Amino acid sequence: MNADRVRAGLALLEELGPEAVLEWLDPDVEILGPKPSPWDCHGRDQVIRFLDHFEPGGTRLKVTEATDIGDQVLLGLRRRHPDGWVQDSFSIVSFRDDRVVLLRGFPTRDQAVAELQRT
């Protein structure tokens, strides 16, 4: 069920830009990598600014996997950057009150699955 919501939200993001998913995000939403990094985002405003990179004409996203695992979603993405560079990554998407509260990214599916098994 949440996997379908994640797919729909990403489709809206790609079609209409970050403002289209504003209500989909918890005010305290975070985007975090497996280790602290300058790309980490804390709060909806920072996340929306980060998502500006995925507006039409920018980086293109393709969902390669969206699997419900309990109340979280294992999300696989393929990012195609404007310069042609392609990057695959996986995230664990967590919800609170039907809103995304955390997207924790991992470079491989195995790392994401291992994190899911720890929680």
Model confidence over 41-65: pLDDT tens digits?
A: 999 999 998 887 665 556 677 899 9
Per-residue pLDDT of 1-11, as tens digits, reads: 899 999 999 88
pTM: 0.88
User: What CATH number labels 2-118?
Assistant: 3.10.450.50
Residue with tokens 């920072």: 46
Over the range 39-77, which residues count as b (16 or more CB within 10 Å of their CB) and which as e?
A: eebeebeebbeebeebeeeebeeeeeebeeeeebbbbbb
Q: How far apart are CA 91 and CA 105, in angstroms?
A: 4
Q: How far apart are CA 10 and CA 12, in angstroms?
A: 5
Cβ neighbours of residue 42 closer than 8 Å, sequence gap 6 or more = 28, 30
